[in-house]
Structure 1
Amino acid sequence: MLKRLTRIAAAMTITLLLAGCGQQSSSKTSGNNTYKTMTSDIIATMDPAQFTDAVSGQTLTDTMAGLYRYKGNKLTSDLAIKTDVSADQKTYTFHLRHGSKWSDGTDVTAADFVFAWQRVVDPATKSPYAFIMSGIKNADAITAGKMAASQLGVKAPDKYTFVVSLDQPIPYFKSMTCLQTFDPVEKKAVEKYGKNFAKTSAQLTFNGPFILKNWKGTDDSWIEVKNPNYWNAKNVHLKKITYQAVKENSTAMNLYKSGKLDDVSVTGQTAEAAKGQSGYHVIKQPWETYLRMNSQAVPAFGNTKVRQALSMAINRKAFISKVLGDGSTPATSAVTTNLFYNAKTGADFAKESLKGGYAQYTTYNLKKARKLFKQGMAEVGQKTLNFTFLANDTPAAKETAEYLQGTFQNLSTTGIKVKMTIKTVPQKSWLQMGTAHQYGMMASIWGPDYPDAENFLTRYTSSVSNFSGSWSSQEYDQYMANAAGKDATKPQARWNDLLKANRLITKEQGIIPLYQWGTVHLTKPSVKGVEYTPNSLFQYIGATNK
Structure 2
Amino acid sequence: MNKFLKVGILLAVSSVFLVSCGTKNDSRTSNINGGKLANSQILNWTESSTLATADLAKATDTLSFNVLLNTQEGLYRLDKSGVPRNALATKTKISDNGKVYTFNLRKDAEWSNGQKVTAKDFVYSWRRIVNPKTASQDAFYLYQVKNAQEVNSGKKSLDTLGIKAIGNYKLQVTLTKPVSYFKKLLAWPLFFPTNQKAVEKFGSKYGTQAKYTVSDGPFKLTKWTGTNKKWTLVKNNKYWDKKNVHLKKINELVTESTTTSYDLYQGKKVDETLLSGQQVKNNLNNKNFVKRLPTATTRLDLNQNQVAAFKNLNIRRAISLAINRTALTNKVLEDGSVPLKGFVPSGMGNNPKTKEAFSSETYVKKSVSYNLKEAKALLKKGYKETGTKNLKFTIVTADTDSSRQAVEYLQSALDALPNVSVEVSTIPFVQLLAKQKAGNYQATIKTWQSVFADPINFLDVYESNSSYNNSGWENEKYDKLLDEAENVYGNSPMKRWNKLVEAEKLLMEEQGTIPLYQVAKSQLLRSNVKNVVYNPAGVPYDWKSAYIAR
Give the TM-score, by structure 1 length: 0.90
- Once residues 253 and 469 of structure 2 are traced to their aligned partners in structure 1, the CA distance between those partners, rounded to angstroms, is 28
Change (3 A) 1:260 1:481: same
2:46 corresponds to: 38
The whole-number CA distance in structure 2 between the counterparts of 1:347 and 1:228 is: 48
What letter matches 1:378 in structure 2? K
Q: How does 1:103-502 map to 2 (within 5 A)?
A: 103-354=112-363, 358-412=364-418, 417-502=419-504
Match of 1:20 in 2: none
Contact 1:30 1:36 in 2 (8 A): no
Query: C-alpha displacement at 1:31, in angstroms?
Result: 6.8
The answer to whether the 8 A contact 2:80-2:534 is kept is: yes
Which amino acid counterpart does residue 365 of structure 2 have in structure 1? A
CA drift at 1:56: 1.0
Kindly indicate whether residue 74 of structure 2 is the aligned counterpart of residue 66 of structure 1. Answer: yes
Asked if the contact 2:338/2:520 (under 8 Å) is kept, the reply is yes
Runs of 4+ with >6 A deviation: none
**Cα offset, 1:221, TM superposition:** 0.9
Deviations 1:230-283 (A, max 9, x none): 333333222211110011222112100111100000223333344434422211
How much has 1:490 moved relative to structure 2? 1.3
Give 5+ residue unaligned stretches, structure 1. 1-28
Shift in CA distance, 164/461, structure 1 to aligned 2, threshold 3 Å = same
Per the TM alignment, residue 486 of structure 1 is displaced from its structure 2 partner at its CA by 1.3
Q: Using a 3 Å threshold, how does the CA distance of structure 1 residues 507 and 105 change in structure 2: closer, same or farther?
A: same
In structure 1, distance between residues paired with 2:375 and 2:182: 41
Q: Give the Cα separation in 1 of the matches to 2:403 and 2:264.
A: 22
Change over 3 Å in CA distance of 1:154–1:252 after alignment to 2: same
Pairing 1:54–2:52 present:
no
CA distance, structure 2, for counterparts of residue 359 and residue 545 of structure 1: 47
Change beyond 3 A, Cα 1:272–1:83: same
Structure 2, gaps ≥5 residues long = 1-36
Structure 2: which amino acid aligns with 1:362? Answer: V
1:515 partnered with 2:517: yes
RMSD: 1.8
Give how far 1:316 is off: 0.8
1:91 and 2:94 matched? no
Paired residue total: 511
Task: State which of 538, 547, 550 in structure 2 corresponds to 1:535.
Answer: 538
Q: Secondary structure at the match of 1:296?
A: coil
Q: Give per-residue Cα distances to partners, 1:365-412, cap 9 Å, x unaligned.
A: 222222222222222221212211111211221221111011112222
Deviation of the 1:344 alpha carbon = 4.1
Q: Report SS of the residue matched to 2:520.
A: strand
Letter in 1 for 2:410: L
* Contact residue 69 and residue 539 of structure 2 kept, 8 A: no
One-letter identity of the residue aligned with 2:510:
E
Give the distance between the partners of 1:226 and 1:512, measured in 2 at CA.
43
Once the 2 structures are TM-superposed, how far is the Cα of residue 33 of structure 1 from its aligned partner? 2.4
1:496 offset after TM fit, Å?
A: 1.3
Report the counterpart of residue 504 of structure 1 in structure 2: 506
Amino acid at match of 1:167: T
User: 1:210·1:227 contact (CA, 8 Å) conserved in 2?
Assistant: yes
Deviation at 1:45, TM superposition (A): 0.5
In structure 1, the residue corresponding to 2:293 is in which secondary structure? Answer: strand
Q: Residue 283 of structure 1: SS of its match in structure 2?
A: coil
> Structure 1 pair 312/121, CA: closer, same or farther in 2 (3 Å)?
same
Q: Which deviations, in whole Å up to 9, do the C-alpha atoms of 1:418-452 show, x marking residues without a partner?
A: 11121222111111011000101111111111121
CA distance in 2, matches of 1:529, 1:346: 32
**Counterpart residue type for residue 50 of structure 1:** K
Q: Is the 8 A contact 1:461 1:468 kept in 2?
A: no
CA distance in 2: counterparts of 1:69 and 1:152, whole angstroms? 24
Residue 49 of structure 1: SS of its match in structure 2? coil
Checking the alignment, whether the CA contact within 8 Å between 2:315 and 2:378 is kept in structure 1 is: yes
C-alpha separation between the residues in 2 aligned to 1:55 and 1:465? 19
Mapped partners of 1:378, 1:195: distance in 2: 50
Aligned partner of residue 93 in structure 1, secondary structure: strand
Bigger shift: residues 60-69 or 264-273: 264-273
